[in-house]
Amino acid sequence: MAYFGNIIDDFSGICLKDFDFTSFCSQRTTIDAINLLFICVFYTSMIISLMRRNSQCGSPSKSRFFILVSICCAIISIVFYSIGLRNLIAKTDNSKQLNWLACIVRGFIWTSLAVSLLVQRLKWIKILNSVWWACSCVLASVLNIEILFKKQAIEIFDIIQWFLHFLLLFCAFQNLGYFVSQSVPQSLSEPLLDQEVDTKQTGLGRANFLSKLTFSWINSLLSLGYSKSLVLEDIPSLLSEDEANLGYQNFMHAWESLVRERSKTNTKNLVLWSVVRTHLKENILIAFWALLRTFAVSVSPLILYAFVNYSNSRDAKNTNLKEGLSIVGFLILSKVVESLSQRHWFFYSRRSGLRMRSALMVAVYRKQLKLSSSARRRHSAGEIVNYIAVDAYRMGEFPWWFHIAWTSTLQLVLSIGILFGVVGVGVLPGLVPLLICGLINFPFAKILQNCMAQFMISQDERLRSTSEILNSMKIIKLQSWEDKFKNLVENLRAKEFIWLSKAQIMKAYGSFLYWMSPTIVSAVVFLGCALFNSAPLNAGTIFTVLAMLRNLGEPVRMIPEALSIMIQVKVSFDRLNTILLDEELDGSDGNRRNINRSSINAVEIQAGNFVWDHESVSPTLRDLNLEIKWGQKVAVCGPVGAGKSSLLYAVLGEVPKISGTVNVCGTIAYVSQTSWIQGGTVQDNILFGKPMDKTRYENAIKVCALDKDIEDFSHGDLTEIGQRGINMSGGQKQRIQLARAVYNDADIYLLDDPFSAVDAHTAAILFNDCVMTALREKTVILVTHQVEFLSEVDTILVMEDGKVTQSGNYENLLTAGTAFEQLVRAHKEAITELDQNNEKGTHKEESQGYLTKNQSEGEISTEGKLGVQLTQEEEKQIGDVGWKTFWDYISFSRGSLMLCWIMLGQSAFIALQTASMFWLALAIEVPKITSAILIGVYALISFSSAGFVYVRSLFTAHLGLKASTAFFNSFTTAIFNAPMLFFDSTPVGRILTRASSDLSILDFDIPYSITFVASVGLEIMVTICIMALVTWPVLIVAIPAMVASKYVQGYYQASARELMRINGTTKAPVMNFAAETSLGVVTVRAFNMTEIFFRNYLKLVDTDAALFFHSNVAMEWLVLRIEALQNLTVITSALLLIIVPQGYVTSGLVGLSLSYAFSLTGSQIFWTRWYCNLLNYIISVERIKQFIHLPVEPPAILEDHRPPSSWPSKGRIDLQALEIRYRPNAPLVLKGITCTFKEGSRVGVVGRTGSGKSTLISALFRLVDPAKGYILIDGINICSIGLKDLRMKLSIIPQEPTLFKGSIRTNLDPLGLYSDDEIWEALEKCQLKETISRLPNLLDSSVSDEGGNWSLGQRQLFCLGRVLLKRNRILVLDEATASIDSATDAILQQIIRQEFVECTVITVAHRVPTVIDSDMVMVLSYGKLVEYEEPSRLMETNSSFSKLVAEYWSSCRKNSSSNLSRQQH
């Protein structure tokens, strides 16, 4: 009890008599008085609540933690009561007669605190208690810090009380809802996504307090990851409070509230303030953790100061062991507080960032589902993906950087304040260079930020072009434009590389500045101390100053970086604000869509005027009056660009309306002109989120002529469709779209030219079986160029220049004449030749009628039958790849020598830094050495070391740049040289991820990671050696601690590596799904599927977030444990310095040893973090290398086998026993085709959809090489020459017309080979001259992404313009006129006949008139050559071709006979 008697020596009646607020006695008395005031209010509140007998008075059950803290408080109160009782009995000294009273009061305070923890009857009593506990903790902390600062010691009993105050503060936060598992009512916990409740939820929800404090709740996942390689299914789901849906709802609640409050003049960023409102509460807690950590870090130099002073006092025999042990005790407390607070600050800030990120990603996705047409033009699919992938994703780190910014500022102020307290006015001169270094950082950060901004702009431009090129790779290979586009990408990368180089070199200067500034500042501070004599230049002063400057170094470096990040975040907030405030589809303004069939008319438009672009002078659709009754079949026809598709968009409400009203009753199904297919299975695309109804599903497949295709797919209807349907033929994609619409069982069907991509026979089947039979009770609006179907519909709308010029049934319109008659005449002329050539054959075929469905669909999908799914799961390495990938990185970039220079530079730096510290430690013990020499030598050595840091950083930058160049060039070359099969089976997102995020990691992260791992590892070894030199027994703890750290790191890395790899495969689907939705948003809205798509997106975001969340937790788990192990070493070192015999260690060496010891934990954590980062970053090298070692196409040019420059002079093509398969061991797609295309002949290739027509073209262009047989062109085997020599001599108009972003000129002549006059001549021939002449910029007029500002028909005409310029001997037309009307088609066929009269023209066509006048016709079926003969001869026999013609003629004959009868009348 004698020890405890000392505690209250100061608490005598003197305090009350001679009150001095600066004395500890008076301050303790004041704190007691404040506590008594709170106690009075508490007990009064309790009495009032008991008197009211409120029904809410039942005290809820307390957590074990509250009970435990209450017991501790009770024990403290018993100790005080005991001391008070002893003093009351003793009464030995009058001066202490009130001591017993002070102890009794303090005992009563602790008793009341114990009671308050157990009894909290009402909410406002909880709040009162929380405020009381928080105030008590703050006051006790202030007093204890002051005692420590003035006395350099603190009693153990005071430390115990202080710790209890912190536990009370924690209880206060729990009272306010923090650190508490949120129990969700059962009614609210039902699944949001129509799935079973996920029982495998993250362990955080079930964790107790201790488990949360130490992150032990993730042990089960780490244990599983250590025992086996983790897969996605092993990752637990998020807590409901972290899920995207809840975050989005909270965000939107705040957003809508702010939008309502916003005035027209208010320009504040609504996204920012919505985020603030939503996440303020959780960030107050994060701020508390950050504040604790800042205080703990700031006091560490004071502990060092106390140690050195204790050492000096002990040498003078003025101290005892108890004082030394109390300093060690405070060191332990500060390290525990620093470690726990920093870990929880980092964890909770990233958790908050995760919630922000998910909410904003979902908000942007939701917004794109609502954007109006004009807004969608302002935000392309690529930009929307950028908003999600860059701007919203950036929010994951935003809270962390925000708290870094203000805590760094606070740490700076505290450190300067403490420095002033230790050194006095001597610190003032040092503030000048500190301020200069700090101010230099701002322009430096601004320059670096500018470099990064320019780099990002350049990177965006490169990625946009790369995305466009990858999506159009087939046409690039067909035209042999690889070199042109590869150069384009390389030139864009060169621009990007300029800014990358500048940024990396600037970082090298930054490193030099970072290491130079502490040297300059410390030297000036020491000089100030010597000049002003404000503090002695002894070990205590010197090493405290150095420790404090180390503390200053972090905020000085971090503040500019944090401000830079804040600026980037501000830009992201502005960008997100722009899209979230942009125009949405307005269904209220006279554009009503009612799902009930309440009206007489299914569709009704009155006096409708519509315009796509508000700035346009004339409306897109004018004076539109339309009434379509239930069950009517309406056809819309007209020339290219007449506004047919716009009419459907008007019905859907997609075109902005200027005036008039639109009423649509019932549900809608929409089939777009350009097929929109989702990545997934055929079944997924047809069901489109609807539940499976087997009968309806099979019927939809049958009427859309898909049954035989699905039978022949290797996986049936579970066959994976590649991105954007890349592994399906055009006809298959269109029929899948149609089946989706039929299965949807809507009331109204809007079909935008669905037959253009299929052959004539399949078109007839689709029209009769699907449109006229399956949809007989439905309302159908059909846009079509197929005139042969018009006689069957109820009403025909003829459009021209945005107006409905004629409407009525077929007979009425023929008599009316003009536009409709022109369309029919063009069609009739095309089939007249058929009639003349096949008068007899037709009648013969008519008796046989149509082919049966089974016959018609006996074909195969050329691309689908591959034995394995075409689009495979993304490949990823499993397990530890060791250091092989790291050495691959070094050797691939030939950077071994640079790595050696980096290590040499770092070794020299550490050697000089250590020398400067040893100089200070030893020189201060030598009286002969003056202050000037001491400071001068120290400054000289330190300045030299900073020079080596610059060398190290410079070589690091160059190593990174060299590696980036090597990997980028190899990657780009590999991609452009990859065969077409690679692009068919690899989603574009998968390639883009490597070209963007993985390459960025190579650009910025890997070189510095390697340097940090190597240099800091060296630094740690030196630190332990210095500690061992001073007190060698520390090795007994240090070595096991290092070994344990390595083991813990290995245990963690097994799981972290797989988490990182899985995360690499979960981010791309989030972006792909957003891009996919953006492209098909009209279809999604038309089918009213926005909610289902939204839910699917929530699942993807949560899956990606779960990986991010668990990766962060795992990192904090690791760091906490390594900190604990290294703190053990530090504490052991400090303890050894206390207990070694007097005189064994000088105060200088004590300061040296402790200054290194205090940096050990930070260095170890820094090394661990960067080592783990490096192992994660190396995965990007692994991923890029996968695509560097791709299969390669045959060479572009074979110098020894180059054909003559005039080749092919004739254009003769010989196919000899040609067999094609897409992969080894896959089934044959073309089976032994032998025939000859004579020079100058016109050959028509026909066959059902998927019969192998496109594969034949692919073989001709060597997109796929023959498995057997060969192709000769003018006697030269095409496999014996280079690809470029072959493809440059062939011309093609592909099935899917492709334009690139740029101008009309660059699209027609990408290689710049032709003059303007030649281009205009080509445009005139392909019917585009008049349209382009009206544009203000003529040939320099813009073409948007994928030619989106030109109609599909116009895009096909551009492709015709390209071949007219090239004028090669061989021309291939692959469904070249499928998307244009019959009249334009007839004109173009005439132009092709005239312009390519001496050329070999191979025409793959669906329209029989297109091939009927060919010299020869090739009929393919099942990949076999069925017939190859002149069409006139085939018409005379019972051939497959004559049947095709008969089918086509039968469907057209009614129209022509009707026309004749009208003319006779």
Query: Could you tell me if residue 297 is inside a domain?
Result: no
Q: 1429: helix, coil or strand?
A: strand
Cross-strand pairs, 751: 671, 782
pLDDT of residue 857: 34
Sorted by sequence, the CB contacts under 8 Å of residue 846 that are 6+ apart come out as 1446, 1450
CA angle 914, 916, 919 (to 5 degrees): 110
Give the least confident one: 18-22, 974-978, 1232-1236: 18-22
Whether the pLDDT of residue 18 is over 50: the answer is no
Give the least confident one: 171-185, 308-322, 1440-1454: 171-185
Q: Are 1365 and 488 in contact (CB under 8 A)?
A: no
Give the least confident one: 184-193, 592-601, 1251-1260, 1352-1361: 184-193
Report, as an integer, the average pLDDT of 366-393.
77
* Nearest residue to 1179 (alpha-carbon basis) of 970, 889, 965: 889
Whether the pLDDT of residue 697 is over 80: the answer is yes
850 confidence band (pLDDT: 50, 70, 90): very low
Q: Alpha-carbon distance 1055 to 420, whole Å?
A: 47
Whether the pLDDT of residue 862 is over 50: the answer is no
pLDDT: which is higher, 1336 or 286: 286
Whether the pLDDT of residue 838 is over 70: the answer is no
Where a domain ends, among 803, 829, 855?
A: 829
Cis peptide before 1069 (omega within 30 of 0): no
Give the pTM. 0.69
Q: Encode pLDDT of 1337-1380 as tens digits.
A: 677 776 766 666 676 667 777 777 877 787 778 888 876 665 56
Query: Could you tell me if residue 722 is inside a domain?
Result: yes
Sorted by sequence, the CB contacts under 8 Å of residue 143 that are 6+ apart come out as 24, 27, 28, 31
pLDDT of residue 180: 54
pLDDT of residue 597: 59
Q: What is the mean pLDDT of the chain?
A: 76
Where a domain ends, among 179, 209, 224?
A: 179
pLDDT of residue 819: 59
1395 confidence band (pLDDT: 50, 70, 90): confident
pLDDT of residue 1250: 65
Report, as an integer, the average pLDDT of 1425-1447.
78
Query: Could you tell me if residue 777 is inside a domain?
Result: yes
- Dihedral sign, CA of 400, 402, 405, 407? negative
Q: Alpha-carbon distance 408 to 556, whole Å?
A: 8
pLDDT of residue 97: 47
- High-pLDDT (> 90) share of the chain, %: 0
Please identify which residue in the block is written with the tokens 């001068």.
936
List, in sequence order, every beta strand (DSSP E) within 583-678: 591-594, 601-610, 621-629, 633-637, 657-665, 668-671
Whether the pLDDT of residue 676 is over 70: the answer is yes
* Nearest residue to 327 (alpha-carbon basis) of 469, 195, 154: 154
Report, as an integer, the average pLDDT of 759-774.
79
Q: Alpha-carbon distance 605 to 836, whole Å?
A: 44
pLDDT of residue 832: 54
- The domain total for the chain is 3
Query: Could you tell me if residue 339 is inside a domain?
Result: no
Whether the pLDDT of residue 204 is over 70: the answer is yes
pLDDT of residue 57: 40
Where a domain ends, among 155, 179, 203?
A: 179
Q: Encode pLDDT of 1083-1104 as tens digits.
A: 888 888 888 888 888 988 888 8
Whether the pLDDT of residue 591 is over 60: the answer is no
Give the best-scoring range by mean pLDDT among 441-445, 543-547, 1170-1174, 1311-1315.
Answer: 1170-1174
Give the best-scoring range by mean pLDDT among 2-16, 870-884, 1284-1298.
Answer: 1284-1298
The CATH number for 1441's domain is 3.40.50.300
Q: What is the 3-state secondary structure (H, E, C) of 414-460?
A: HHHHHHHHHHHHHHHHHHHHHHHHHHHHHHHHHHHHHHHHHHHHHHH
Whether the pLDDT of residue 788 is over 50: the answer is yes
Query: Could you tell me if residue 895 is inside a domain?
Result: no
pLDDT of residue 1424: 83
190, burial (CB in 10 Å: exposed 0-12, middle 13-18, buried 19+): exposed
Q: Encode pLDDT of 905-935 as tens digits.
A: 888 888 888 888 788 777 777 777 777 888 8
pLDDT: which is higher, 587 or 916: 916
| Structural domain boundaries, residue 725 | 601-829
pLDDT of residue 811: 75
Query: Could you tell me if residue 1199 is inside a domain?
Result: no
Strands 601-610 and 657-665: antiparallel
pLDDT of residue 858: 33
316 confidence band (pLDDT: 50, 70, 90): low
pLDDT of residue 314: 66
Q: Which pair of tokens denotes residue 704?
A: 């859309």
Whether the pLDDT of residue 844 is over 60: the answer is no
Whether the pLDDT of residue 188 is over 60: the answer is no
Q: Encode pLDDT of 45-102 as tens digits.
A: 777 776 654 434 444 455 677 888 888 888 888 888 778 777 777 654 444 445 777 8
pLDDT of residue 96: 44
Query: Could you tell me if residue 524 is inside a domain?
Result: no
Q: Alpha-carbon distance 1262 to 1445, whole Å?
A: 31
Whether the pLDDT of residue 673 is over 60: the answer is yes
Query: Could you tell me if residue 821 is inside a domain?
Result: yes
Whether the pLDDT of residue 1438 is over 80: the answer is no
Sorted by sequence, the CB contacts under 8 Å of residue 534 that are 6+ apart come out as 423, 424, 425, 426, 427, 528
Sorted by sequence, the CB contacts under 8 Å of residue 501 that are 6+ apart come out as 957, 961
Q: Are 803 and 767 in contact (CB under 8 A)?
A: no
